């Protein structure tokens, strides 16, 4: 997962795939007609989920921040919150605010452990994509929403262990 997440992040920054990039082994040659297809699909998937501006986060979740943009950028800089920059503006996947306090803490710790500070798009993809190790291939964000916190913790532990190995 980390290999793909890192490559997608690099593709998003560079806007192209180098011919020696290992991600090409995962893509059939017929699919490389447009190198930005991978990038577009990954971004489209992530952005198909609800996202909020800093002001919307503050208003909807009763955050008493003087400056919501600064508060969320600081949390993003620590890696606690996923902040996705698009067209010069930050958007924040809603799942990390809309849960119980305990579930929100699991999300924040997971964001830090997965490296959201350095790879917010890859971490957002991990949370929002179906996980083959989860029951019914649910995404970690779905499990979080259902209150299956132990299942989310187990997926996080497995992902982190896999990245270390």
3-state helix, strand, coil in the chain (%, to 5): 65, 5, 30
Q: What pLDDT sits at residue 62?
A: 86
Q: How far apart are CA 14 and CA 141, in angstroms?
A: 28
The DSSP H or E segment spanning 14 is: helix 2-14
Q: Does residue 56 or residue 15 have the better pLDDT?
A: 56
pLDDT tens, position by position, 78-93: 999 999 998 889 999 9
Is the pLDDT score of 2 beyond 60?
no
Q: What pLDDT sits at residue 44?
A: 85
Model confidence, pTM: 0.76
Q: What pLDDT sits at residue 111?
A: 97
DSSP 112-153: HHHTTTT-HHHHHHHHHS--TTSGGG--HHHHHHHT-HHHHH
pLDDT tens, position by position, 105-160: 999 999 999 999 999 999 999 999 999 998 899 999 999 999 999 999 999 999 99
Taking the C-alpha atoms of 103, 148, 133 and 122 in order, what is their torsion angle to the nearest 10 degrees?
-20
Is the pLDDT score of 32 beyond 50?
no
Q: What pLDDT sits at residue 162?
A: 82
**Alpha-carbon Rg of the chain, whole angstroms?**
16
Q: Does residue 114 or residue 41 have the better pLDDT?
A: 114
In sign, the C-alpha dihedral spanning 17, 35, 114, 117 is: positive
Q: What pLDDT sits at residue 7?
A: 53
In sign, the C-alpha dihedral spanning 108, 128, 125, 161 is: positive
Q: What pLDDT sits at residue 29?
A: 53
- How many CA atoms are closer than 13 Å to the CA of 146, on its beta-carbon side? 12
44 and 52 in contact (C-beta within 8 Å)?
no
């Amino acid at each position: 997962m980390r290999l793909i997440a890192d490559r997608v992040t690099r593709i998003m920054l560079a806007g192209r795939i180098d011919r020696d990039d290992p991600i090409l082994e995962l893509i059939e040659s017929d699919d490389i007609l447009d190198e930005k297809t991978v990038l577009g699909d990954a971004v489209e998937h992530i952005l198909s989920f609800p996202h909020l501006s800093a002001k919307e986060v503050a208003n909807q979740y009763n955050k008493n921040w003087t400056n919501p943009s600064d508060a969320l950028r600081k949390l993003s800089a620590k890696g606690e919150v996923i902040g996705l920059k698009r067209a010069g503006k930050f958007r924040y996947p809603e799942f990390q605010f809309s849960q119980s306090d305990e579930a929100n803490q699991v999300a924040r710790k997971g964001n830090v452990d997965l490296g959201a500070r350095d790879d917010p798009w890859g971490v957002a993809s991990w949370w929002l994509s179906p996980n083959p190790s989860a029951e019914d291939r649910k995404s970690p964000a779905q499990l979080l929403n259902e209150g299956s916190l132990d299942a989310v913790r187990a997926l996080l532990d497995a992902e982190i262990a896999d990245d270390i190995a």
